[in-house]
Structures are given as structure tokens and as C-alpha cells.
């Protein structure tokens, strides 16, 4: 089941985050900020545990996503991104991914994203980002 995040989820999310992004994980304060800034588009996939999360903005920027390591390759990440695609109907979706994160790049390519550029030294440790974009799908939602 996919639902909006709740503050009581943060502890589990911190564990997912630590194994997913050892070089640049979010801390508790950053999860609170994301929760406040993206109240409707910070989502979690839940079974007996929190299996993964995604945060995106409605203008089509995918901010972060991660899946619990032992539950990867079971379609959870794809479901979360499909949720973002549905929320951002009619707009392209864009994201940044570390050049060294080849697994995530394969994941996004499988979901219809294209490589559109590179941002030099984008991450705080100096690693470059690849910029990826998925063309708009569906009609924009009435505001
Ligand atoms: C990237 C991530 C979110 C993918 O989540 P997931 O739930 O494992 O993805 P899915 O099961 O939906 O994968 C769908 C398809 O994407 C591709 N894919 C996913 N992970 C892949 C990997 N590590 N290597 C190559 N292809 C991959 C495959 O085609 C896969 O289909 P298959 O399993 O039938 O071969 C997950 O690996 C993760 O949390 N990684 C660490 C955090 C991270 O890198 N986040 C993205 C930062 S920009």
C-alpha cells in the first residue's frame, strides 16, 4: 500500500536511507523539512514494514527515492515512481543521479527516463550528477 508519510515513519526511513545513500543520507531534520514542504508528495510503500519512499514536487522534480535493500527488485521502486508519474500527469519528470549509481540509472532507463545531461560536481563530495528526464505522459490535472 502506498500512502503519505507520517512522522512516526521517520525512524524506519532513516535506516533505509543509511543503507541506500551512505555518502549523503538525509537526517531526521531533513525528513521533517521534506514532510513540511511536500505534504502530499512524500509517499511511502508499506507492508509489515516501511519498504520504501519517494519525494517529488508537483512541477515534476523527483527529489529522492529509496527501497529497503532486502526488498529491492520486487517492483516497489517502480510502483513509487509510477505514483509520481500519475501525480505529475502532463508534465515531464526530471531527476539527478550520481554518475557512479549505475543500478539506479538502469532503473530509471527501464522506467522510460532518458539521459539529457551532466552536472559537474553536483554533489557535496564533488561527484557529478547525470540529469535524466521522462517525457510528459497523460493530460495535466485541472487545478
Ligand atoms: C534504485 C531503487 C530505488 C530501485 O528500486 P527497486 O524496488 O529495486 O526497483 P524495481 O524492483 O522496481 O526495478 C524495476 C526494474 O529496474 C531495473 N533495475 C532496478 N534496480 C537495478 C539495478 N540495481 N541494476 C540494474 N537494473 C536495475 C530492472 O530492469 C528492474 O526490473 P527487473 O528486476 O525485472 O530486472 C533501489 O535500488 C534503491 O533504493 N537503491 C538505493 C537508493 C538509490 O539509488 N535511489 C535512487 C537515487 S537517484
Nearest C-alpha neighbor of 20 from the set 84, 103, 99, 78: 103
pTM: 0.96
Distance CA 123, CA 24 (A): 9
Point out the ligand 1 atom lying closest to the alpha carbon of residue 76: 7
Counting beta carbons within 10 angstroms of the beta carbon of residue 137, is it exposed (0 to 12), middle (13 to 18) or buried (19 or more)?
middle
Query: Could you tell me the distance, in angstroms and rounded to a whole number, from the CA of residue 71 to the centre of ligand 1?
Result: 10
Q: Which fold has domain 2-134?
A: Aminopeptidase (3.40.630)
- Compute the average pLDDT of residues 95-110: 98
Q: What are 60-77's pLDDT values in tens digits?
A: 999 999 999 999 999 999
Query: Could you tell me the distance, in angstroms and rounded to a whole number, from the CA of residue 70 to the centre of ligand 1?
Result: 12
Residue nearest to atom 31 of ligand 1 (CA): 73
- Expressed in angstroms, the distance from the first to the final Cα of the chain is 26
Query: Could you tell me the distance, in angstroms and rounded to a whole number, from the CA of residue 142 to the centre of ligand 1?
Result: 32
Distance CA 51, CA 68 (A): 5
Where are the chain's structural domains? 2-134
Amino acid at each position: 500500500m502506498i500512502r503519505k508519510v507520517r512522522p512516526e515513519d521517520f525512524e524506519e526511513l532513516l535506516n533505509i536511507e543509511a543503507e541506500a545513500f551512505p555518502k549523503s543520507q538525509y537526517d531526521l531534520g531533513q525528513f521533517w523539512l521534506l514532510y513540511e514542504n511536500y505534504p502530499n508528495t512524500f509517499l511511502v510503500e508499506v507492508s509489515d514494514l516501511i519498504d520504501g519512499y519517494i519525494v517529488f514536487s508537483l512541477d515534476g522534480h523527483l527529489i529522492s527515492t529509496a527501497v529497503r535493500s532486502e526488498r529491492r527488485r520486487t517492483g516497489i521502486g517502480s510502483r513509487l515512481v509510477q505514483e509520481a508519474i500519475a501525480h505529475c500527469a502532463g508534465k515531464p519528470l526530471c531527476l539527478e543521479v550520481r554518475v557512479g549509481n549505475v543500478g539506479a540509472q538502469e532503473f530509471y532507463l527501464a522506467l522510460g527516463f532518458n539521459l539529457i545531461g551532466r552536472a559537474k560536481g553536483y554533489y557535496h563530495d564533488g561527484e557529478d550528477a547525470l540529469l535524466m528526464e521522462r517525457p510528459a505522459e497523460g493530460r495535466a490535472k485541472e487545478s
